């Protein structure tokens, strides 16, 4: 029995030591868990702050978009104001206009198609070739821009142009329109499609 009791005592001692080891490591784990929970709280707080900032940034970005749309519309208005007295002419055959000058060509179109508008009323401020907006590389006929002295003369001429079935210059069909921003550009592109059909696709667009 003595040897038995010794063996039990030894065994119990081993178990107790192992148990102590476990008991000691337990608060370590709890300390680690506590630290992780604290970091987690902190991380969640930071994520919430970041989410709030992203909400604010998104709202501010929306305001920026709206303001930029207003700026675009404002710039369109500026262009329309600058070009308010302009008449945009499509369809003058190339070469024709160099001989006599753009303004003579315009005066000839006016005299030939609108005899009711007095020559003295048609006061030109300046004239120029239209910059090739749509596609600078495409082989398109050059367009002409005539800046009238007053917007009212332009309006009167364009009203008369709309009422006339077709406007001709030396046997060729030409079109007179306003010289304004994107919306009108769209209309002009459609006009050019009509031109293609009317002219039997002689004009390359």
Beta bridge pairs of residue 146: 87, 127
Dist CA 165 CA 172 (whole Å): 14
Q: Could you count the other beta carbons within 10 Å of the beta carbon of residue 181?
A: 17
**φ, ψ of residue 86 in degrees (nearest 5):** -90, 145
**Does the footprint of a second copy cover residue 82 (CB under 8 A)?**
yes
Angle, CA 45 vertex, CA 42 and CA 49 arms, to 5°: 140
Is 129 strand, coil or helix? Answer: strand
Residue pair 139/192 in contact by the 8 Å Cβ criterion? no
**CA dihedral sign, ordered 198, 194, 138, 129:** positive
**Does the footprint of a second copy cover residue 74 (CB under 8 A)?**
yes
Total binding residues toward a second copy, as defined by CB under 8 A: 54
Q: Which stretch binds a second copy (CB under 8 A): 45-53, 92-100, 113-121, 184-192?
A: 45-53
Per-residue contact flags (x/-) with a second copy for residues 142 to 181, judged by CB under 8 A: -------xxxx-----------------------------
**Does the footprint of a second copy cover residue 189 (CB under 8 A)?**
no
Q: Which of 61, 164, 185, 193 binds a second copy (CB under 8 A)?
A: 61
Residues that bind a second copy (CB under 8 A): 1, 4-5, 8, 11-12, 15-16, 18-19, 22-23, 25-26, 29-30, 32-33, 36-37, 39-40, 43-44, 46-47, 50-51, 53-54, 57-58, 60-61, 64-65, 67-68, 71-72, 74-75, 78-79, 81-82, 85, 125-126, 128, 149-152
């Amino acid at each position: 029995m003595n040897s038995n009791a010794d063996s039990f005592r030894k065994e119990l001692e081993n178990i107790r030591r192992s148990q102590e080891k476990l008991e000691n490591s337990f608060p370590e784990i709890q300390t680690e868990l506590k630290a992780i929970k604290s970091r987690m709280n902190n991380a969640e707080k930071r994520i919430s702050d970041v989410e709030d900032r992203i909400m604010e940034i998104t709202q501010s970005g929306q305001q920026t978009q709206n303001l930029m749309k207003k700026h675009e519309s404002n710039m369109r208005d500026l262009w329309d104001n600058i070009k308010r007295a302009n008449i945009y002419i499509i369809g003058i055959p190339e070469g024709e206009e160099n001989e006599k000058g753009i303004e003579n060509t315009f005066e000839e179109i006016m005299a030939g198609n609108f005899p009711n508008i007095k020559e003295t009323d048609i006061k030109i401020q300046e004239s120029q070739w239209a910059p090739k907006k749509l596609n600078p590389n495409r082989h398109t006929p050059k367009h002409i821009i005539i800046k009238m002295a007053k917007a009212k003369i332009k309006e009167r001429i364009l009203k008369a142009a709309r009422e006339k079935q077709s406007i001709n210059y030396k046997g060729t069909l030409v079109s007179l329109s306003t010289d304004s921003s994107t919306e009108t550009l769209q209309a002009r592109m459609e006009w050019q499609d009509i031109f293609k059909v009317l002219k039997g696709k002689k004009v390359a667009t």
